Chain A
Amino acid sequence: MASGEALTTSAYIVHHLTNNTVGEGFWTLHLDTLFVSGIIGLVAFLGMAKVAKQASSGVPGPLQSFIEILVSFVDQQVKDTYHGRSPLVTPLAITIFVWVFLMNAMDLIPVDFLPLILGVFGIHYLKVVPTTDPNLTFAMSLSVFTIMIVMGIKVKGAGGFFHEVVAVPFGIKLAPVNILFRVIEDIAKPISLSLRLFGNMYAGEMVFILIALLGVWQLPLALPWALFHILIITLQAFVFMMLTIVYLSMASESHG
């Protein structure tokens, strides 16, 4: 109820799910998504870079230990799944896990808290969880998709890559079927990747908004949902990271 007007229930919900936009048509920018995701990412990754710069091989401090545990965990997942050798995969997986986790975690801030503060400064629309914006999830999944294609061509060579598109799984004689299958498979990857994250976070945010509508009764409901949501936040970040690793591993392994 940041705008201070008298709002109906549906108006309240719609208001919370409206982005702060600038521009028209396709050339619209969601300022809230861009700013929140950017600030979170800059703080997280520049902070990690600062710690990494001072990282010593001696006894690590608590912050360094924490980041090392996190990074080693991701690296272990990569090592278990991805058997090629690429300097990109582990940093990519770390970036995805940390960034998605932190953006999802914005969901745990009470839904009216940040809009209320920014409302004081005259900013009336704020969708605070960037992962509830399909633009972000699609940007990530399409980037991963691009990396996947490039890696496939790089590992197998252009000839090997296109041969695989044409001849797998049914052999060269059924080339049209193979190409169709391949296209469907490859389109499904980024779509499922982005929509899974978007859908989970959007639904979670929606439930928070609905709980916030209950007035006095929101506290006993918001708390268990938030606790439950911690699981979803972590799980979705992990799933996005894991599937990215799996897709890249598939892209760099030969199928015959």
Chain B
Amino acid sequence: MNINATLFGEAVWFGVFIWITMKYVWPPLQKAIADRQALIADGLAAGERGRHELELASKRSADSLREAKVKSAEIVVAAEKRALQVIEEAKLAAKVEADKVVASAQAEIAQQVEQARAELRGKVADLAVAGAERILKREVDAKGHAEMLAALQQEL
């Protein structure tokens, strides 16, 4: 065990290696490790956030689905109601129309009856005149009686 100048040589080596480690080994590695840790932490946080958002979105979609169901049920009910109403209205309109048709038909019938009656009246008068003419042909002046009969006809 002899101590000699090798001591100084080894101290120099030691110093050189400490310097290399301190300047070129430790800082870049420390930075790389710290950066990676930050990266991993960010990734985990992003994953957590994504999961949370997914949860919210599924909740939202379930909500809107439920809402849509309710709304569609409402629409169906309204449509049924409207259909009933339309049917009612149509029934009413048809009835009105039918009444109108019936009324006009009755009016026409009445008119025709009136016309036929008037015709008949004329014909009865003619017939009566013809009958009377035949009866009275022999003795009565046709002209004088015709005037009287026309006046009679007007009175009817």
Q: Which residues of A contact B (CB under 8 A)?
A: 23, 25-30, 33-34, 37-38, 41, 45-46, 48-49, 52-53, 55-58, 60, 64, 67-68, 71-72, 75, 87-88, 90-92, 94-95, 99, 130, 133-136, 138-140, 142-143
Contact = CB atoms under 8 A, between A and B. Distances in A.
A140 B14 contact: yes
Contacts of A72: 33
Interface residues of B, number: 33
Given A49-B24, A143-B15, A57 B39 contact: yes
Interface in B64-114: none
Interface string B1-44: 11111111111011111101110111111111101100100000
B4 A52 contact: no
A37 B29 contact: no
Contact of A135 (B7, B21, B33): B7
B19 to A, nearest CB: 9
A45 B1 contact: no
A95 B18 contact: yes
Best-surrounded residue of B1, B8, B31 (most CB of chain A within 10 A): B1
B154 to A, nearest CB: 126
A131 to B, nearest CB: 10
Given A41-B13, A57-B35, A57-B36, A28 B4 contact: yes
Nearest to A139: B10
Contacts of B16: 41
Q: Can you list the 3 inter-chain pairs with the closest CB atoms, starting with the nearest?
A: A57-B35, A139-B10, A49-B24
Interface of B: 1-11, 13-18, 20-22, 24-33, 35-36, 39
A32 to B, nearest CB: 10
A57 B32 contact: yes
A27 B4 contact: yes
B21 A94 contact: yes
Contact of B5 (A23, A60, A136): A23
Given A23-B5, A26-B4, A136-B10, A92 B18 contact: yes
Given A28-B2, A41-B17, A57-B39, A138 B24 contact: no
A52 B5 contact: no
8 contacts: A30-B6, A41-B16, A68-B29, A71-B29, A130-B10, A135-B4, A139-B13, A143-B14
Contacts of A75: 30
Contact of A91 (B6, B18, B32, B35): B18
B32 A26 contact: no
Contacts of A37: 10, 13
B45 to A, nearest CB: 17
Nearest to A19: B6
A49 B26 CA distance: 8
A133 B1 CA distance: 8
B64 to A, nearest CB: 41
Contacts of A133: 6
Given A55-B32, A95-B18, A135-B6, A143 B25 contact: no
A148 to B, nearest CB: 14
B3 A135 contact: yes
